[in-house]
Chains A and B, each alone.
Chain A
């Protein structure tokens, strides 16, 4: 009888990279549906176009690197990267913007460093920042939500993506833009002044954020990541907003609820900063990592030149992650100073 010799442990849990990535993709579905409801099929076009480009790019590069491209595709990690980026890109953005962004994310964000697991920065945010700096006009024209304009049908949407004309009336400033541009109005007056600013975070945006929150909570339940980084980021962002609110003057930075439920807050907290590869590794480290992102997001939103700040904040903290790791090593068994 031939005996098989393998080393311990001889049993393993059920989670694998594929199941992790699949869960992340599934968790984005509510957010994508709500975005499609409010802003039309633009995000779906982004996702399909971006996903195809990402798969092709990953397959080609991994084959060039002499690895097995099929296993690289099969772990779904490249689809997660493209999905996260394409959710963040404006609906009805011209096709070339999507292609450039996805190629940057997959090639410069991920594969140049050695592929899955080796990227020091969040690949989706690398792609996003390159686009934001290179093509600010296209990147800052976000579609208007339904109720303010008719959402386009699929044919019209495709035409806008593949035969882009000049910026049209269907795009406009996001609630975060409006807040940043506000000069004379008290915060409460500002929120009353425009139809897109109803609710805590703007028309459509609250629902989008709630949908991503729902997906994120499901991922927490599935133990894909721990609560540390998301909670720390949201708490820090909320706290900063509370301190900067000053009762809502015209200089006000916006209310805590506004910051938590507008822009990319929930999406970032549960889908971007939870990228394990580029974040701090220990739970204590992830608390610090998340909290600093929350602070930076608030600072850049209120003092910076860009409407939303998640991408910059995440990349800056990606730089800091090894440093945080160095100072947040857990106390190993048997090394604490005193026994009770």
Chain B
């Protein structure tokens, strides 16, 4: 039995997971148009390889990866490319980005795929390429290109592959549903990942509020030979943070500023593992994902398997959105999700939940009151920070103290703001302060660069002047040497020459 470690802090907000009835998928129909952003992952945007008006088939590459930190985008069904232009996307700041609009034709014709069924005989690098070509990026929220995680390099041997099925955010049941329905594929995907990483041990961690998922995954793990351990641990938010789940299950901490591979761990979301299974076994690219549609403003909350690119509004209408006067639609969960500003924004590879709460369900924040330094935030912080101190320093824009109090170790989980009796939007202060520090870092780099360039120019000019001087001195020395060897005074000789020249000029006319 694995020792379960406790993490500092954490909170127990109402879970509300039953609302979306985990374990079932509700088909909601194909939308007439799909909008596929070129950046659904962390890193460089994909490069479009289709033209407006072109007919495409399901699974066809619409945009190719633009580098190592990039993944391609595929058509989720057959249809016609109608536009490649800036569209609103689901983004915390309500930004637009380049998207490919695909008019679906309802035929759902697909290009043939080629999988690698005998993956055990295959080099990890080849499998990683297959995963990258399938467009797989982390489906837990960050969208980190999975192939990059799977090639950690020789200097970092991986001891543990950890599948993070915690799903600690209230309301969200997408991973829960996936683990219940696709347990076999999850186990196969996990085995493939372990093979690629040459990991010594394999662990799937699931919070104990998902007994069905735990049972399904355990049963599937028992079907195969490979030693895959399924561990459950007590429910607490934010146990599902990558750093937190690693500490809970291993007792180790990821070094500040480092990544799990630094301590021999690779941590992946179960959705990502299933996507890897599909990519390797069938060669099928990532074009769909499970999305939780929940909140009391919806008449039929559920989980659905949605085409990437499906407009958020299409899904919410299909499950009976009855909007209030000031409706919130939250992308992600209530603790870390962001409010969507446009329902035309599409579902992407990182969209695990769309939450449409009523105001009585999740009341709007109260007016902030002065901090009374009660310390509840420090009690709740999973990173053992002192949020109240960070708040003061953020307000004072004291970057030195913010660094000393380790602002950048904040994972923005929102536990501090949740418990704050003064309802101070603490996370917002930290985000703003991080942004300011990054800005001034950039500014410092820029001015360092300018200074460097200026100093280089000064040095170059100095060197040129010195070289000229050296040349002149060398000429002078040479002339002097010659004079000494010839016995002629060079000054006298020059005067003689000038005199001769003048005499010549005078004589000439």
Q: Are A282 and B378 in touch, CB under 8 angstroms?
A: yes
Asked whether A7 and B339 contact (CB < 8 A) given A117-B370, A331-B384, A333-B8, the answer is yes
Q: Which of A116, A325, A329 contacts B370 (CB 8 A)?
A: A116
Cα–Cα, bound, A13→B252 (Å): 30
**Chain A contacts of B258 at CB under 8 A?**
334
Cα–Cα, bound, A16→B325 (Å): 26
Q: Which 10 A-B pairs have the closest CB atoms?
A: A117-B370, A9-B414, A334-B256, A333-B383, A4-B326, A339-B252, A276-B374, A10-B334, A15-B421, A11-B334
- Mark each residue of chain B from 99 to 139: 1 if its CB lies under 8 Å from any CB of chain A, else 0: 00000000000000000000000000000000000000000
**Chain B contacts of A13 at CB under 8 A?**
11, 13, 418-419
B434 within 8 A of A: no
B121-163 residues at the A interface, CB under 8 angstroms: none
Cα–Cα, bound, A1→B366 (Å): 24
Question: Chain B's nearest CB lies how many Å from the CB of A74?
Answer: 10
Q: Which of B328, B336, B405, B412 contacts A329 (CB 8 A)?
A: B405
Q: Are B374 and A225 in touch, CB under 8 angstroms?
A: yes
Q: Are A3 and B384 in touch, CB under 8 angstroms?
A: no
Q: Hey, which bits of chain B sit against chain A, CB under 8 A?
A: 8, 11, 13, 92, 94, 170, 243, 247, 251-258, 263, 323, 325-330, 332, 334-343, 355, 357, 362-367, 369-376, 378-379, 382-386, 388-389, 405-406, 409, 412, 414, 417-423, 425, 427-428, 431
Nearest A residue to B406 via CB reads A332
Question: Chain A's nearest CB lies how many Å from the CB of B375?
Answer: 6
Q: How many residues of A contact B (CB 8 A)?
A: 47
Asked whether A276 and B378 contact (CB < 8 A) given A6-B364, A17-B421, the answer is no
Nearest B residue to A228 via CB reads B375
A277 within 8 A of B: yes
**Chain A contacts of B335 at CB under 8 A?**
8-11
A249 within 8 A of B: no
Q: Are B423 and A3 in touch, CB under 8 angstroms?
A: no
Q: Are B253 and A5 in touch, CB under 8 angstroms?
A: no
Question: Chain B's nearest CB lies how many Å from the CB of A110?
Answer: 11
Cα–Cα, bound, A19→B326 (Å): 28
Nearest A residue to B257 via CB reads A334
**Chain B contacts of A333 at CB under 8 A?**
8, 243, 247, 253, 256, 382-384, 409
Question: Chain B's nearest CB lies how many Å from the CB of A223?
Answer: 8
Q: Which of A115, A224, A330 contacts B378 (CB 8 A)?
A: A330
Q: Are A11 and B253 in touch, CB under 8 angstroms?
A: no
Q: Are A9 and B336 in touch, CB under 8 angstroms?
A: yes
Q: Which of B334, B338, B414, B421 contacts A16 (CB 8 A)?
A: B421
A138 within 8 A of B: no
Majority secondary structure, B binding face: loop
Q: Are A9 and B418 in touch, CB under 8 angstroms?
A: yes
Question: Chain A's nearest CB lies how many Å from the CB of B217?
Answer: 27
Nearest A residue to B409 via CB reads A332
Q: Are B427 and A8 in touch, CB under 8 angstroms?
A: yes
Q: Are B423 and A10 in touch, CB under 8 angstroms?
A: no
A311-340 residues at the B interface, CB under 8 angstroms: 325, 329-336, 339-340
Q: Are A335 and B372 in touch, CB under 8 angstroms?
A: no
Asked whether A17 and B372 contact (CB < 8 A) given A12-B417, A333-B383, the answer is yes
Question: Chain B's nearest CB lies how many Å from the CB of A12?
Answer: 6
**Chain B contacts of A1 at CB under 8 A?**
323, 327, 343
Cα–Cα, bound, A236→B389 (Å): 27
Question: Chain B's nearest CB lies how many Å from the CB of A167?
Answer: 39
Question: Chain B's nearest CB lies how many Å from the CB of A24?
Answer: 11
Q: Are A335 and B256 in touch, CB under 8 angstroms?
A: yes
- Beyond the given pairs A71-B369, A117-B371, 13 more chain A to chain B contacts, judged by CB atoms under 8 angstroms and listed by A's residue number, are A2-B326, A3-B339, A8-B332, A10-B330, A16-B422, A17-B372, A117-B370, A117-B372, A281-B386, A282-B378, A330-B385, A331-B384, A334-B258
Question: Chain B's nearest CB lies how many Å from the CB of A289?
Answer: 12
Nearest A residue to B323 via CB reads A1
**Chain A contacts of B327 at CB under 8 A?**
1-4
Q: Are A10 and B328 in touch, CB under 8 angstroms?
A: yes
Q: Which of B256, B328, B372, B409 contacts A4 (CB 8 A)?
A: B328
**Chain B contacts of A171 at CB under 8 A?**
none
**Chain B contacts of A2 at CB under 8 A?**
325-327
**Chain B contacts of A132 at CB under 8 A?**
none
**Chain A contacts of B364 at CB under 8 A?**
4, 6
Q: Are A277 and B373 in touch, CB under 8 angstroms?
A: yes
Nearest B residue to A333 via CB reads B383
A52 within 8 A of B: no
A96 within 8 A of B: no
Q: Are A276 and B372 in touch, CB under 8 angstroms?
A: yes
Q: Which of B92, B263, B365, B389 contacts A339 (CB 8 A)?
A: B263
Nearest B residue to A14 via CB reads B421
Asked whether A16 and B423 contact (CB < 8 A) given A118-B370, A333-B383, A334-B256, the answer is yes
**Chain B contacts of A116 at CB under 8 A?**
369-370, 372
Question: Chain B's nearest CB lies how many Å from the CB of A247?
Answer: 41
Q: Are B343 and A336 in touch, CB under 8 angstroms?
A: no
Question: Chain A's nearest CB lies how many Å from the CB of B326?
Answer: 4
**Chain B contacts of A8 at CB under 8 A?**
330, 332, 334-338, 412, 414, 427
Q: Are A11 and B418 in touch, CB under 8 angstroms?
A: yes
Nearest A residue to B366 via CB reads A16
